[in-house]
Chains A and B, each alone.
Chain A
Amino acid sequence: MSFLEIKDISKNYGANAVVRNVDLNIDKGEFISLLGPSGCGKTTVLRMIAGFETPTQGTINIDNEDITTINTARRNIGMVFQAYALFPNMTVANNIAFGLKIAGRSSAEIKMRVAEMLDLVKLPALGDRYPYQLSGGQQQRIALARALAISPRVLLLDEPLSALDAKIRVSLREEIRSVQRKLGITTVFVTHDQEEALSMSDRVVVMSEGRIEQLGTPLEIYNQPRTRFVASFVGTLTILSAKIIDSAARRLTICDQPVKSKLSPEGKTGQEISVALRPEAIRIGKPGANSNNLNANVIDINFLGSIMRVKVRCGTQDILLDMFNQSKGKPPAIGSAVTVSFEPDDLVILNA
């Protein structure tokens, strides 16, 4: 039995279906990310868990209790919003104490709990400040402390890092993850940033147009995207068309040059299918014993700091590949002919 069970929920606004038949089982203590572009329904799923929206169909259980139609106030969940959600008229300490005060805890208990929460988010000295005196990153830490103070059953994070500067974003996501691990709290995190989702989560749910596209560990999502959408949304990827030569023998051609794949492609001989390659899986030269090799021409080089992204053309298709920026290796000249190689394992076969 999972701790948080989402069973076949849908949400329609009139004729407009925002969430379609989403099924999701989340274990106790797990950190799950809902990843997708804006409008994919990820926020609506979160808001249905929170109780701000009622599903048109389906049920949501927490710890075997059906909460689908229960008031938000009685669900005992913690939530952190994108920004500006601290009460501006209260000090940091009073913000954190708010839920406890509502619950009617004794002032001694509240005081202790507030101090504990301030320590947890590493801002022990800021209890007397007002939100407008804090930086964005500090405000979000306090918002986290406020959400956690009531010891919620589930923690919901609605793009909590999107409004922050890049540097603070990275440090705060590590911190959120470490607090989550320490407390072992079941967490659902909504984001449109694949890097956040991949780096923080136990499992990632990629959503598109109200549906779950793929559910898996970050490694699975990145290395074995199952659909074209997931492949293109997560990381940089070159999608190529390939032709099946022999499905059982896992032989194909890309721009009329033979390659092998690890998994058998589904389809008849001569059928065109989509395959994908990550730039970091391809190298120039140095073919291995079992590797696939393609002859191509260099047409563009982009310098990105630690790596160089090279665009090569093979037939009519462009392929991106990454080279480390090393002092000894010289980048190839534009226009020169090269052989690029990659392992059959890295050739991803896309279903759709």
Chain B
Amino acid sequence: MVTTRKSHFAKGRLVDRNLAAWLGVAPFFIFAAMFLILPTCLLLAGAFQDDHGQLTLQNIANLARPDIIKSFALSLKISATSALVGALFGFVLAYAAVNGGVPSWIRPTLMTFSGVASNFAGVPLAFAFIATLGRTGLVTAALNKIFDFNIYNAGFNLLDFWGLTLTYLYFQIPLMVLILTPAIDGLKKEWREASLTLGSSAIQHWRYVILPILWPSIAGSFLLLFANAFGAVATAYALTNSSLNIVPILLFSQIRGDVLHDPNLGYALAFGMVAITGISNLLYIVLRSRSERWIK
């Protein structure tokens, strides 16, 4: 490429052209630095500074406060549960739509709906679940009326762990469907047939072929879903109005009004969040590249 270009144009022109290219991408890098990288770095740097700007690990150590540990534990529990259930059911749903022998219109419908639902997070989603499973929600009322079964008396609460998890699933499952469908499409019909001619049963085919091939994609998607839930603020805030102290909500309150009474502890909290979402995303990338290597 480069050599043909060099032969076409004089050297002076070439310098010109590369300058134009660098000028062309400069706004992007300035933008990324100012509104993405520097703010995050500055924030994370704050996690390692005391009030006078001296380097310290005290803020990180202070994260061991019982209330903060409790919110990390709750956050991890909600994110992991919603990611696990979302990944499993999303996988089953995607597999059913692609290879399950259901009518062919189901697949595009599911894909379009997943595109919508995975973007339908935040405040409106919380409203929808309040209207469905809140104390006066349609399903709550219907169960009460038809089966004389009050789910709230039975211990369910939409503003609780299970309520929030159930709500998160509304965007987690579609996200899983969207991420995993290409991997399921990558399963060749010939693999199934080859394994049949070699004498394997359906269960053996799943155990030795399908699951090992899909495993990195499923695990990777789980991590992505996990990070997705861990960083979500709006849905939980609108649903529980900060009564459920998960990490993003705690951080939200801290930004609003320094509820921790220690700005640097806020930065440490942010650092904790980024560490968790960052690691899960990193593992996701590793797992994805592994599955892509096979499928290629």
Contact = CB atoms under 8 A, between A and B. Distances in A.
A77 B212 contact: no
Contact of B198 (A82, A89, A99): A99
Given A76-B199, A89-B213, A132-B294, A102 B194 contact: no
Nearest to B201: A73
B67 interface: no
Given A98-B198, A102-B198, A102-B200, A79 B212 contact: no
Interface of B: 188, 190-191, 193-201, 204, 208-209, 212-213, 293-296
Contacts of B195: 87, 98
Interface centre among B200, B213, B295, by most A CB within 10 Å?
Answer: B200
Closest 3 CB pairs of A and B: A99-B198, A85-B190, A88-B294
Nearest to A156: B197
Contact of A103 (B193, B197, B199, B296): B199
Contacts of B190: 81-85
Interface residues of A, number: 35
Contacts of B212: 89-90
A223 B204 CA distance: 49
Contacts of A130: 294
Interface in A127-150: 130, 132, 143, 146-147, 150
B213 A77 contact: no
A182 interface: no
Contacts, number: 75
A79 B194 contact: yes
B197 A147 contact: yes
Nearest to A83: B190
Nearest to A130: B294
B199 A150 contact: yes
Give the interface centre of B194, B209, B294, B295 by most chain A CB atoms within 10 Å: B194
A98 B209 CA distance: 10
Contact of A85 (B191, B201, B293, B294): B191
A86 B188 CA distance: 10
A75 B193 CA distance: 13
B199 A81 contact: no
B198 A132 contact: no
Contacts of A84: 188, 190
A264 interface: no
A72 B294 contact: no
A88 B194 CA distance: 12
Contacts of A324: none
A52 B196 CA distance: 9
A27 B170 CA distance: 61
Given A87-B191, A88-B294, A79 B197 contact: yes
Interface string A44-87: 00000011100000000000000000011111111101111111
Given A79-B193, A84-B188, A89 B294 contact: yes
Interface in A216-259: none
Interface in A148-172: 150, 152, 156
Contacts of B213: 87-89
B295 A88 contact: yes
Given A84-B188, A88-B295, A132-B296, A74 B194 contact: no
Contact of A50 (B188, B193, B199, B209): B193
Nearest to A143: B194
B196 A72 contact: yes
Contacts of A73: 196-197, 199-201
Given A50-B193, A89-B212, 17 more contacts: A50-B197, A52-B193, A72-B193, A78-B197, A81-B194, A82-B190, A87-B191, A87-B194, A89-B209, A89-B213, A98-B195, A101-B208, A103-B199, A132-B293, A132-B294, A150-B198, A152-B197
24 contacts: A50-B197, A73-B197, A73-B199, A76-B199, A78-B197, A79-B197, A81-B190, A85-B191, A85-B194, A86-B194, A87-B194, A87-B209, A88-B213, A89-B209, A89-B212, A89-B294, A90-B212, A99-B198, A102-B198, A102-B199, A102-B204, A132-B294, A132-B296, A146-B198
A79 B208 CA distance: 19
